[in-house]
Amino acid sequence: MKRILAALAATLLCASGGAAFAPPGVDQAVVESDAMPPKLSAFGLFRGNDPGRPSTGIAYTLRASLFSDYTEKHRFIAIPAGKKAKVGSDGVIDFPVGTVLVKSFGWNDVGGGRLIETRLLIHRASGWVALPYIWDADGKDATLALGGRRVPVTFKSPDGETHSIRYAVPNKNQCKECHSLNGEIVPIGPKARNFILDPAAADAVRSRYFENPAALKPTMPIWDDPATGSVADRARAYLDVNCAHCHNPAGSASNSGLFLRWTDDPTGVNYGIGKRPTAAGRGSGGMDFAIAPGDPAHSFMIYRLESTDPGIAMPEVGRSTVHKEGAALLRQWIAEMPKGGQKAL
Amino acid sequence: MRFNGFHAAALGVLAVLGASPATAKTISVSATTPDANEKLQEALILAEPGDVVQLGAGVWTLTDGLSLDVAGVTVRGAGAGEGGSILDFTGQQGAGEGLLVTSDDVLLTNFAVLNTKGDGIKSKGADRIVYHQLRVEWTAGPKETNGAYGIYPVESTDVLVDSVYVRGASDAGIYVGQSKNIIVRDSIATENVAGIEIENSYNADVHDNIATKNTGGILVFDLPSLPMQGGHNVRVFENIVNDNSTPNFAPKGNIVASVPTGTGVLVMANRNVEIFDNVFADNGTANVMIVGYRYEHKDPNYQPLPRDIVVRGNQHGKAGYAPKFPGGDMIAAAMGGAIPPVLWDGAGDAVVLDKVGVLSLNLPDVKTPQSEAKPAPADLSKGTPPAALPAITLPESMEAKVK
């Protein structure tokens, strides 16, 4: 009986695809090779190479997402047939070899919402590889930009202010600077506490891509939604997503001794409370502490977040604009800490 | 015999082939190529182990920091001086440094990095890195708006800095942090806040350098609350450390902002540091200063005292005539215009065998504020110095790169 049903389903699927229009699919051979194709279309990730129409996979969003100059981000995962991702007991998602995480960037008010770039994070047998593609002027394909590029854009942030920046598409190495754990590339955003699978997707679809989709329990506060957590909780979520990919003991900023993961002790000196600058240079802004409780004006964490000067700004890569709203949240968090005390919460 | 000779020659050829992989190639990039920044970055990404990325002569106008993450690559320019390969970051818009290296067995040689907004050249987790015949400079001279570190290896094992020139860093010209097995030699550090600094590191030789016109010439520090601490086994020898008279221009808050102008060698909270056979002159605060870490900290594993410090065989020119620590001028006046060339805050222990005076501030407890100093001459010549430290040796593959 089951076999008959399966055969029937297969027939239906073929019929819906239409014999004359065999659905385009991901070229798994390219995905799993060592290739760095000069054109994004080589992967077959989009229908008709339209970045709005993934050829496969499932869309996802994040509870808290990294600030990238107010870009809109569109994400999906492609996982090869017959394989599934699995959520580990520690909340880390294990994606099988052959998985592609696809993230596209653009602004609604730039080029009519046309996407600027698409970044791929590909899980190959040799490990994760990050490849940045910039969409061509005609929007028909995107071209590999291993060395990164600056793209001049003018856009409005949510507060109505106009920004004219030279948006930085990261180079391949810069992708790794953020996506690095002990020198190896890893995904940053997809953790059970932060990961939201397309809510419109049916359970059957979710189960197609995840062995245990119910284990995806996105509980992390949304930094700009007070209903999801206290100021301190939301500030910590913001730091986790915007800083902790480098600021952890195995990340690119391990030598700083400043560790900002959701799981780090938020009262400790290694969380920045009363922590003196390490290798900060001009980033200290003449201040003694990363976080001076009760005194955001003398907390150089704020100074660095509110700067766009490359010798001062944090994060070091990935933004040419100040995230005013994020900085305001952190200001409020620090201002509400008892002055002089070393307790953050 | 002839047969044997032939055989040996054949083996020699094989050895040469074995030393350089058949696939190793040179990737040349020109300073005048359109999109030079992107093209150079691409070359650094596409390079494979054994390759040389050759930087053309001329001034490279760069807006974004470069990075290298491939092991075994050489980045070679046409020279670090006029007419060489000059990477000019005056218009830099992004990245925390001019060049970042995150792979092992890399050689950087014969180019210059100018006016970066942040650090000059940084290498992190890059074992067996060799910095050779490089210039890192902020060309307007000392300014608080200059980047922090010129040459900045961190979290690495086996580090060689050889024949470099660094000027204008608002923190340290040559800074080695949280690393092991280090040689800094034959280099010039001038007009930086700290000329050369070894921080939270183990096993370092700093020798045959010239540290002049900095705020402080050579610093050996250990700081709390960092992943690697307990700095020890550092030898500072046969350097010329003179006229370190540049007013401190470090941004406040950074530890080097506390270095008094006119400091020759400064040891803070390390153990087993040997300072010998150096030539000191014209350091207005002190030729050698040995102190504890006197800031509040909450790190139970941190050891704030200098211990087993040895000062011997050094030549001492004029020093101590303009001590720039709080109250220093009054002490100098009381002592006839100058304090002795060796200054100790009284914390930890040191042996000073040089035939010069030592001034102790008699503050053995690092929690005692400096305002309670009871300055008095001290005799540190009676102690027994610990066993001499062995010389640092680096893997032969590294030394071969600079021969």
Cβ–Cβ pairs < 8 A, chains A and B: 146
Rounded to a whole number of angstroms, the distance from the CA of A192 to the nearest CA of chain B is: 28
Structure tokens, A324: 């005013």
Lowest model confidence (mean pLDDT) among A177-181, B35-39, B234-238, B275-279: A177-181
Q: Are B394 and B181 in contact (CB under 8 A)?
A: yes
pLDDT digits (tens, 9 = 90+) for B75-109: 999 999 999 999 999 999 888 899 999 999 999 99
Mutate to test the interface with A, among B27, B29, B35, B38 (most CBs of A within 10 A): B38
Q: Looking at residue A20, what is its pLDDT? A: 39
DSSP state of A299: B
d(CA A103, CA A122): 11
**Cβ distance of A288 and B144 shorter than 8 Å:** no
Task: Return the bridge partners of B166, or none.
Answer: B136, B189
Residue of A nearest to B296 (CA): A274
Q: Looking at residue B277, what is its pLDDT? A: 98
pLDDT for B260 beyond 90: yes
Lowest model confidence (mean pLDDT) among A12-21, B55-64, B284-293: A12-21
d(CA A318, CA A70): 11
Q: Looking at residue B10, what is its pLDDT? A: 37
Lowest model confidence (mean pLDDT) among A2-16, A45-59, A84-98, B51-65: A2-16
Rounded to a whole number of angstroms, the distance from the CA of B103 to the nearest CA of chain A is: 9
pLDDT digits (tens, 9 = 90+) for A251-302: 999 999 999 999 999 998 999 999 999 888 889 999 999 999 999 999 999 9
d(CA A106, CA A70): 9
pLDDT for A12 beyond 50: no
Q: What is the mean pLDDT of chain A?
A: 88
pLDDT for B1 beyond 60: no
pLDDT digits (tens, 9 = 90+) for A160-197: 999 999 999 999 888 888 887 777 888 877 888 889 99
B385 SS3 class: coil
pLDDT for A25 beyond 60: yes
**Cβ distance of A150 and B93 shorter than 8 Å:** yes
Q: Looking at residue A344, what is its pLDDT? A: 34
Mutate to test the interface with A, among B61, B154, B225, B256 (most CBs of A within 10 A): B225
Which residues contact residue A15 at a Cβ distance below 8 angstroms, ignoring those fewer than 6 apart?
A: none
pLDDT digits (tens, 9 = 90+) for B172-211: 999 999 999 999 999 999 999 999 999 999 999 999 999 9
Q: Looking at residue B7, what is its pLDDT? A: 40
Which of A24-38, A169-183, B352-366 ranks highest by mean pLDDT?
A: B352-366
**Cβ distance of B148 and A311 shorter than 8 Å:** yes
Residue of B nearest to A181 (CA): B125
Residue of B nearest to A258 (CA): B226
Q: Looking at residue A318, what is its pLDDT? A: 85
- Higher pLDDT among residues A252 and B136, named by residue: B136
* Residues of chain B found within 8 Å of residue A281, distances taken between Cβ atoms: 118-119, 147-149, 170-171, 251, 254
Percent of chain A residues past pLDDT 70, beyond the cut: 91
**Cβ distance of A277 and B46 shorter than 8 Å:** no
A333 SS3 class: helix
Q: Which of B86, B35, B273 is nearest to B43 (CA)?
A: B35
pLDDT for B4 beyond 90: no
**Residues A17-25: what's their mean pLDDT?**
49
